[in-house]
A and B are shown apart, each in its own frame.
Chain A
């Protein structure tokens, strides 16, 4: 495929003129004719493509069906979130973090709120921490449900997509009861939570868990066990631990490569240190491992929520009420947490005013995207789709 019948024109990197059809025809006419002449070509995958999950643009250098080179072109949903923070202040910034990785809005809220709380040395009570942990784990389940559905769709099975969304809806309804919003909640505020939980909340969560545990087995029967899925995923897109660390991958992508690094275990926040759970780790780091790690993470999240939901401590849900603006003392603060896709870090450079001097997000998807490039080279186009989906890219999180 690579060598057969490569003509002189294609071997030397002569560029194909793109300006007009006539020029192109002339170019190919001048090319020495060969029966097996092959030519590499460029194709734009995105920004409008069904499986780039938004507006990611990948310029692919292809040889037939084989991907030779991947050049990501970013910035199609760049909203200047970090710069905007310098104008709108800390409290307002929390609601913008909803829009980073919109599938785990609550965890993003938590990172930002926690950064402010650490800077201001606010001690939170157990109730707030427990509730935040429960919400974060529910959000993780929700995010993985959506990922599962979309993963199925990217592999060509449309039905998992709707099953995933059907079950995601149940968590969304629980969130809606308590928080008043479904996707961008802005619920975890500096100093506590926006409201107390809905009185029905614990019962509804328990109902959901009872409903969802058999459903997870159903997911396995429908999709995980399917022989076509095995064929499509096993041995595809292998990312070894070393590369994963060197590109800064985190979350399930890193753990599937055999690196057991989870901030919930290694640097516990919330009430994770009081709960029992395992960190699922893969062995080979292929798409299949990433898939299994995420499926296992859903089960572990269920375990965490089950441990916490029965004994939520009493207490206020807002330990410190802020006004429109928050003034935090001068200094540089960094805080990071494990979201559904990896480590989300936030760095605040505070100058003592009500607005940050500089704010930076270290988002998981940005780094995870670079692992795709090393993984997909030399594989087929369909494998690239599977890899992109197994890494679980959320583009607004990359572009910010």
Chain B
């Protein structure tokens, strides 16, 4: 009998806890995601998207040394040299990064000798076609920023580089205008190397 009532009491104790949460709406922890974009603050270090660091002139420091490619555990990075370098010994043509296979281990960022790469906390990278997840991160093919800045003026620098877009080069798409994807839907953006 004693055990019976103690058991009953334990049931009521549990019900007391759930009651507490029912009558205290402030304890609700649900975040309503698309609506709370304004207040949703992700930590700065969140790794969600690989991107290039560009200086104020829009140049990067990648010397195409392939260390990141070597460090990548599952070959998500593919660095392609420029076939005919303009001034430097090695020049980057395409920096292909596969978001679909990347595990965000951060090793490429850690091993990069020139701090070219960084991880961005922009996590909304869903697309309707998996092939769109293969990006070219560099906005231009050419030498590094410091080398290019030795040139006298902007005109001379522009002669040494070629613009590159997000889906340029040997991405799975071979250019965003192919493969049934309407042009204009995924226009490359110039600064971040990440589609809008």
Identify the A interface with B (CB < 8 A). Answer: 88, 91-92, 95-96, 159, 166, 169, 173, 176-181, 184, 186, 189, 194-195, 198, 218, 221-223, 225-228, 230, 322-325
Interface code B89-109, partner A: CB below 8 Å = 1, 0 otherwise?
000000000000001111100
Q: A96-B73, A181-B104, A186-B105 are in contact. Are A227 and B11 (CB under 8 A)?
A: yes
Q: Chain B residue with minimal CB distance to A189?
A: B110
CB interface residues, B 60-91, toward A, < 8 Å: 67-68, 70-74
CB distance from A338 to the nearest CB of B (A): 25
CA distance A169 to B6 in the complex (A): 34
23 contacts across the A-B interface (CB closer than 8 A): A88-B73, A91-B71, A92-B105, A92-B107, A95-B103, A173-B43, A176-B45, A176-B46, A179-B45, A180-B45, A180-B47, A194-B106, A198-B45, A218-B17, A222-B14, A222-B17, A222-B18, A227-B7, A227-B10, A324-B70, A324-B107, A325-B70, A325-B71
CB within 8 Å for A221 and B71 given contacts A180-B45, A186-B105:
no
A175: nearest chain-B partner, CB-CB: B43
A230 CB, min distance to chain B CBs, angstroms: 8
Please determine whether A225 and B10 come into contact, CB atoms closer than 8 angstroms: yes
- In the complex the two chains form, is B43's CB within 8 Å of A176's CB? yes
Q: Mark B117-131, 1 if CB is under 8 A from A, else 0.
A: 001010000000000
Q: How far is the CB of A105 from chain B (nearest CB, A)?
A: 11
- The CA of A15 and the CA of B47, in the complex, are separated in Å by 55
**Chain A nearest CB, measured from B144 CB (Å):** 20
- A169 to B68 alpha-carbon distance, docked (Å): 32
Asked if A226 contacts B17 (CB within 8 A), the reply is no
B193 → chain A, closest Cβ, in Å?
20
In the assembled complex, B13 has its CB within 8 A of some CB on chain A: yes
Main secondary structure of the interface of A (DSSP, over half): helix
Given contacts A92-B107, A222-B18, A325-B70, are A169 and B45 in contact (CB under 8 A)?
no
User: B105: which of A95, A176, A198 is its contact (CB, 8 Å)?
Assistant: A95
Q: Of all chain B residues, which has the CB nearest A184?
A: B103
Across-interface contacts of A180 in B (CB, < 8 A): 43, 45-47, 106, 119, 121
A180–B45 Cα gap in the complex (Å)? 4
Asked if B185 lies at the interface with its beta carbon under 8 angstroms from chain A, I say no
Known: A221-B16, A223-B14, A227-B7. Is A181-B47 also a contact (CB below 8 A)? yes
Asked whether B111 is an interface residue with its Cβ less than 8 Å from the other chain, the reply is: yes
Across-interface contacts of B68 in A (CB, < 8 A): 324
Contact of B14 among A91, A179, A221 (CB under 8 A): A221
Enumerate chain B residues within 8 angstroms of A159, measured Cβ to Cβ: 18
Q: Is B29 close to A, CB under 8 A?
A: yes
4 tightest Cβ-Cβ pairs between the two chains A and B? A227-B7, A180-B45, A324-B71, A92-B73
CB pair A169–B71 under 8 Å, yes or no, is no
Residues of chain A within 8 A (CB-CB) of B106 are 180, 186, 194
A187 to chain B: closest residue by CB: B106
Q: Which residue of B lies closest to A92 (CB)?
A: B73
Please name all residues of chain B whose beta carbon is closer than 8 Å to the beta carbon of A223 when the two chains form the complex: 14
**Smallest CB separation, A174 vs chain B (Å):** 10
Residue numbers in B under 8 Å from A198 (CB-CB): 43, 45
Q: A222-B18, A324-B70 are in contact. List 17 more A-B contacts (CB 8 A).
A: A88-B73, A88-B74, A91-B71, A91-B107, A176-B43, A176-B45, A176-B46, A180-B47, A184-B103, A186-B105, A189-B110, A198-B43, A221-B17, A226-B10, A230-B7, A324-B67, A325-B71
Minimum CB–CB distance for B38 against chain A, Å = 19
Closest CB-CB distance, B47 to chain A, in whole Å? Answer: 5
Whether the pair B11, A324 counts as a contact (CB closer than 8 A) is: no
Taken together as a complex, chains A and B put the C-alpha atoms of A189 and B45 apart, in Å, by 16
B113, closest chain A residue (CB): A323
Question: Which A residues touch B17, using CB under 8 A?
Answer: 218, 221-222
Cα distance, A181 to B103, chains bound together (Å): 11
Which residue of B is nearest A178, CB measured? B45
Contacts A159-B18, A186-B105, A226-B10 given; does A95 touch B45 at CB 8 Å = no
User: How close is A163's CB to chain B, nearest CB, in angstroms?
Assistant: 8
Report whether A226 and B11 are in contact in the complex, using a CB–CB cutoff of 8 Å: yes
Complex Cα spacing A96 to B72, Å: 12
CA gap between A371 and B48 in the complex, in Å:
40
* Distance from B137 Cβ to chain A, minimum over Cβ atoms (Å): 18
Q: Which partner residue on chain B sits nearest A224 by CB separation?
A: B10
In angstroms, Cα B122 to Cα A103, docked, is 24
Listed residue (B14, B16, B29, B67) with the most chain A CB atoms within 10 angstroms of its CB: B14
In angstroms, Cα B72 to Cα A294, docked, is: 37
Cα-based distance from A92 to B18 in the complex (angstroms): 46
Whole-angstrom distance between the alpha carbons of A227 and B9 in the complex? Answer: 9
For window 10-27 of B, CB contacts with A under 8 Å fall at 10-11, 13-14, 16-18
Contacts of B46 in A (CB 8 A): 176, 180-181
Which of B11, B14, B110 contacts A194, CB < 8 Å? B110
CB distance from A173 to the nearest CB of B (A): 8
Report yes or no: A324 in contact with B111, Cβ–Cβ below 8 A: yes
Task: Give every chain B residue within 8 A of A92 (Cβ-Cβ).
Answer: 71-73, 105, 107
| Cα–Cα distance between A178 and B43 once the two chains are bound (Å) | 8
